[in-house]
Amino acid sequence: MFPRQIRAARRALSRAVPPARRLVTGLTATALVAAAPLLVLPASPAAAATPAGAAVPFTEYLAANATTNGRVLAPDYTYGALASEATGRQAVQLVGQGSFVSFTLTQPANAVDFHYALPDSLDGAGLTAPLSVYVNGAKSQDLQLTSTDSWLYGAYTFTNNPADVGNPQSAVPHDFYNDVRTMFPSVLPAGTVVKLQIDANDTAPWYAVNTADFENVPAPLPKPAGYLDVTQAPYDIDSSGVADATGELTQAINDAETAGTGVYLPKGLYKITAPIGLNKVGVAGAGEWYTELTGHNVEFQGNVGQTTGVTVHDLSIFGNVNSRDDSDGTVNGFNGGFNNSTISNVWIQNQKVGAWIVGATTNLKFQNMRIQDTLADGINFDGGVTNSSVTNSFFRNTQDDGLAMWSSTTDSGDTFDHNTVDSPGLANNIAVYGGSNNSVTNNLVQDTVTRGGGIHVGNRFGASALAGTTTISGNKLVRTGQFDPGWDYGVGAMWFFALDSAMTGTINISNNEIDSSPYEAYQFEGTLEGGKPISGVTISNDTVNGVGTYVFQDQTSGSATVSGVTATGVGVGGVEDCASGFTLNQGSGNTGWSGAATCGFPGAAPVTAFPSTVTFENARVGSATPVQKVTIYNTGRSAASLGGISASGGFTVTRDPSNPCGTSLNGANDTDPGMWCQIDVSYTAPTSGITTGTLTVPNSQPGGPTTVQLVGTDGGTAVHTPVSASPGSLAFGNAAVGATTAPQTVTVSNPGPAAATLTSITVSGPYAQTNTCGGSLAAGASCTVAVTFKPTAGGAQNGILAIANSTTATPVGTTLTGTGVTATTNLAQGATISASGSAGGFPASNTNDGDTSSYWEGAGSFPQWVQADLGSVQQVGSLVLDLPPSSAWGARTQTLSVQGSTDASSWTTLKASAGYTFDPATGNTVTVTLPASSVRYLRLNITANTGWSAGQLSELQIFSGGGSGGGTAPTASLAASPAALSFAGTTVGSHSAAQTTTITNNGGAAATLSAITTSGDYAETSTCGASLAVHASCTVGVTFTPTATGTRTGSVSVAGNDPAGPLTVALTGTGNPASGGGSTNLAAGATMTASGSTQNYTPANTNDGNTGSYWESADNAFPQWLQADLGSSKSVTRLVLDLPPSSAWGARTQTLSVQGSADGSSWTTLKASAGYTFDPATGNTVTVTLPTSSVRYLRLNVTANTAWPAAQLSELQIFS
């Protein structure tokens, strides 16, 4: 029996939340309390300890409050950040030899469990590295830490592939933490200092330490009377963990069942390789710290409907499950049904699920459990589980619900009481999916990570509808709820969701405490996903201490009765409700919040990035590593402008070819890829050791700039401190063409122990610099560089300040951005837009997002206003006002005036009130000419609208020209990158892999795209719609299917409203003859192997159909070989060999021979060694003709390469 698939229908995952204040701890796990998030929550007093939570046997210390010379990670609620998954949202990161964190014990202890993180390896297999432990200054032991059981990527149910980093809705790296435990030789008294320190042999690029759970473990427990000792005859089970104990333990358990007794596992390590069934038997260990069962399939199974009378206690189960397979029911701690049974004092770690219980099961008790680091739920009651309970148990870092009642058939009479549930990596701390008469009481739940709330009640996932009375009482919820990028708003600390059916059962919520929720305290949801009404909810005597947005967020119809709810530290308001039809029936005693509803969410929210730490391991001094991707995305509903993205010395930022970043990100919208982009980062080690740096993303949202930590290492442990430049970017804003701006200053610092040589200081673009630096910078010294901007043309004018020096392999850089202003430059692009009020879903920020289909709509009665803050005083001369061009918008006249101000206090009328007619027949656009004026703030005052009872505006465009200075309206301007595509040789009649070109609108007005077509032997697919906003991009994918041999040309044509005419992208490719044989590439699907490979350049790249990826052998190790296993013997006559077609690949000649084999052992030479020239001018492709041969294995032996000291191949195509 195995558990059903674990809610595979859950949506793809990701979420981000603003940072938080420092955490105050040093308390036990039952009373861990933190202050509110800095950016979204007002100050609130720390809550007093309550009885909620498990009475755990350990004292938990937060590393962030310990003594350290490491980096204390600031509180962070961003999904994909190291701190966001940590208890308390903080951790300490140790980098380099001598870095430490130490804990001073307040209670005696002889054991400790550390919650920690290490970086992943580049191939996703994980790293293993020691970390030194000191007691009162003396070396005690080495802890063996690993990330093999951590780090997940890609879409649910996730992968172990680090390349799966992308869309914030579905491809966020996560699950960073694991636990390691150790016992000391003797009891350490209070006052003892235990230190974790990086020594010379501790070679991980970095270590993150979250918590230390110190415990005074009692002596091992003796054998219970009458129990069978499994290490004695006739079983003689190995307790060293070497021999497989599965068979003998199964036999001992069967014998004990027959005898009506149990089995005893003394102190030791027991290797288990298959699930062990239980029925009417006891299983006892010497204690959680002494008896350990380990293995990949270490599981106790109960036969559903039959197993009864089981007790399991005082042992631990440690699996090694590092990938989630929901069809595998053999990798859970406990699985199946257990009637009238008790499971207690069991530690479960690194399993898929702690316990998956299936009905019919009744009277099952879990007590004093410790479950952590699972790949799915902690404990799940999966339907038909009745009168059962989980009490006084501790859960941490489950990668699905910490505790769940999932009534696939009705769960009834079940209780979750006095448990502590920390940091579930996905979903909720505690969830109740349907069922009847169940209770969730006196639990402590903390630090939701993504896609969930602290306590969730819902009719979802096909569960039987809630019935009877559901009780939620006496719980404490700390920092729970998270931002959901799939919905673009926050999930509540308590979340109610009527998705499958109306929620009509009684739900009594009382005497709970909600502390520091980053978003709302209570959320009632249903309508967004087709849900139903919610009723029967009573909330009484709850306390809310700090919410980032609202106390109540009402998003479905229905009602709740609320009394005695006291709130302090309310971020935005009492109730968010956009005419949902939900009613809050308020009784007495509600204080600190108003029932008056507000429609909408704050438009401004941080731009975030993931991964929060990018690690480059195994770098080679002087050589650039492969790039790693960083995703940057906007969590705010208003558009965000991006400045120049830069990285510290030694790290290089390049444009990502698939999802490149432009100058802005659209407002958060789960259907709009314009809300996120990616950049590529590489590292060049200047010397042996570790280099740390920062990726800086300037942006217009609060909390900017967004930063990402960079760590590069070649395996050394000494920290290298190179020359740095700060800030990493300078934004000069708008400047008139030909005018020179005031200077801005960059500080160049040398934190290293020796003087640094400054080889050169240069700027690119229309920028100039002067400096105080000279040719050398002393240790610990700094100097300054003053930079000015003098634009030579209108539009964006970017550049780089580059400081070449002796401490970094690549120059230290500061990115420079500015905009040249002409009469046709839209000054509103990037301005901050505000309004007198906005109707729900139609914010003022829509008026400068470059999208004429979105719009602002005022709220309340006339007059209404919308206002642009240009950031600095600018000359204005005209406006262009737009409404959506759709013919569905009837003509209308809006009466408005225009005012200007330099300080937003004193206003001057620039245009008197008049009526302006917007007519879709003429584009729904209006031009307003102004007298030439110098303003920072420009406001439209609207007093009437013949088409609607509010002011409406799609785009506000502001120009310096058009008044007394003349000027014209802006236009679209399309560009393609790359502007040409070249395809490798492709057999006539077969299809090439797709290549893409990115289409960008660099103009000042939205582009209309009327048609995208191809000519010649080419076909296209695209992500482009009917329009392209200003600075927005889309991609066109092109495939090549030659109809004849030789050079084949064609083009992509993008027609639209660009005055320059259709945009064209040149296409070239070569049709290869079929040579009388087949045109099917036999290498497609073959198994590719090689003598060796470098980093991510694996042999599998040579038959993935993508000429942009390639195999590269180890350097300086000729001869090298690449081999294809065709699966069975095939007739072969011809090979086509490709390298990437990019012109960046210079021509090269590789010397190679070709061999074939029927068995992979005996080889025949099919083609003698010869030189073959690959030239990008002719497609970087080579054809090798072979004598007709029947082979299963085909091998290329490469002995030389004129351009690189290794063999290289992008695609190996084999034809019959």
pLDDT digits (tens, 9 = 90+) for 347-366: 999 999 999 999 999 999 99
Where do the DSSP E strands lie in 1016-1045?
1018-1022, 1027-1028, 1033-1040
**pLDDT above 50: residue 13:** no
- Give the pLDDT of residue 47: 38
The region that residue 309 occupies, defined by phi over 0 for left and psi between -120 and 50 for alpha, beta otherwise, is left
Average pLDDT over residues 851-871: 89
pLDDT band per the 50, 70, 90 thresholds, residue 31: very low
Structural tokens at position 308: 């009864």
Instruction: Please state, in angstroms and rounded to a whole number, the distance separating the CA atoms of residues 431 and 459.
Output: 11
Residues 650/656, Cβ–Cβ less than 8 Å: no
What is the CATH code for 974-1072?
A: 2.60.40.10
Give me the CATH topology for the region 832-959. Jelly Rolls (2.60.120)
Instruction: Please state, in angstroms and rounded to a whole number, the distance separating the CA atoms of residues 1174 and 1141.
Output: 10
Instruction: Please state, in angstroms and rounded to a whole number, the distance separating the CA atoms of residues 994 and 981.
Output: 10
- Give the pLDDT of residue 45: 35
237's CB contacts (< 8 A; 6+ apart) are 230, 231, 245, 248, 249, 252, 265, 270
CA-nearest of 529, 400, 537, 402 to 466 is 537
Instruction: Mark 326-351 as b/e (b = at least 16 C-beta within 10 Å).
Output: beebbbbbbbbbbbebbbbbbbbbbb
Q: What is the SS3 assignment for 787?
A: strand
In CATH terms, 603-720 corresponds, of 2.170.190.11, 2.60.40.10, 3.40.50.300, 1.10.10.60, to 2.60.40.10
Other C-beta atoms lying within 10 Å of the C-beta of residue 764: 11
Amino acid at 182: T
Instruction: Please state, in angstroms and rounded to a whole number, the distance separating the CA atoms of residues 416 and 400.
Output: 17
**pLDDT above 50: residue 6:** no
Instruction: Mark 1015-1047 as b/e (b = at least 16 C-beta within 10 Å).
Output: ebbbebebebeebbbbbbbbbbebbbbbeeeee
Q: What is the SS3 assignment for 254?
A: helix
Instruction: Please state, in angstroms and rounded to a whole number, the distance separating the CA atoms of residues 438 and 406.
Output: 11
Alpha carbon 90 to chain centroid distance?
17
- How many helices (DSSP H) and strands (DSSP E) are in the chain? 1, 102
**pLDDT above 90: residue 185:** yes
DSSP tag of 206: -
- Give the pLDDT of residue 22: 20
- Give the pLDDT of residue 851: 80
The CATH architecture to which 1087-1215 belongs is: Sandwich (2.60)
pLDDT band per the 50, 70, 90 thresholds, residue 1048: confident
Q: Kindly report the CA angle at 55 between 54 and 57, in degrees rounded to 5?
A: 120
Q: Which residue has tokens 């009375």?
A: 469
Average pLDDT over residues 369-380: 98
Instruction: Mark 216-240 as b/e (b = at least 16 C-beta within 10 Å).
Output: ebeeebebeeebbebbeeebebebe
Q: Which helix (H) or strand (E) holds 248?
A: helix 246-259
Other C-beta atoms lying within 10 Å of the C-beta of residue 492: 32
- Give the pLDDT of residue 1177: 76
Q: What is the SS3 assignment for 1100?
A: helix
CA-nearest of 483, 667, 610 to 171 is 610
Q: Report the 3 state secondary structure along 624-680.
A: ECCCEEEEEEECCCCCEEECCCEECCCEEEEECCCCECCCEECCCCCCCHHHEEEEE
Percent of the chain with pLDDT over 70: 93
- Give the pLDDT of residue 1142: 63
The 10s digit of each residue's pLDDT in 724-737 is 898 888 988 888 88
Give me the CATH topology for the region 725-822. Immunoglobulin-like (2.60.40)
Other C-beta atoms lying within 10 Å of the C-beta of residue 480: 32
The 10s digit of each residue's pLDDT in 938-984 is 999 999 999 999 999 999 999 987 643 334 456 777 888 887 887 87
Residues 61/211, Cβ–Cβ less than 8 Å: yes
**pLDDT above 90: residue 1198:** yes
Residues 427/372, Cβ–Cβ less than 8 Å: no
**pLDDT above 60: residue 407:** yes
User: What is the DSSP pairing of strand 1063-1072 with strand 980-982?
Assistant: parallel
Q: Which residue has tokens 């000054």?
A: 827
Task: Please tell me the class of the 23-28+59-215 domain.
Answer: mainly beta
- pTM of the entire structure? 0.71
Write down the domain spans for the chain.
Answer: 23-28+59-215, 603-720, 725-822, 832-959, 974-1072, 1087-1215
Structural tokens at position 454: 């602290």
Residues 735/818, Cβ–Cβ less than 8 Å: yes
Amino acid at 29: A
pLDDT band per the 50, 70, 90 thresholds, residue 10: very low
Rounded to the nearest integer, the mean pLDDT of the chain is 88
Residues 689/753, Cβ–Cβ less than 8 Å: no
User: What is the DSSP pairing of strand 573-577 with strand 597-598?
Assistant: parallel
The 10s digit of each residue's pLDDT in 451-494 is 999 999 999 999 999 999 999 999 999 999 998 877 778 899 99
Same fold, 23-28+59-215 and 832-959: yes
Instruction: Please state, in angstroms and rounded to a whole number, the distance separating the CA atoms of residues 99 and 195.
Output: 10
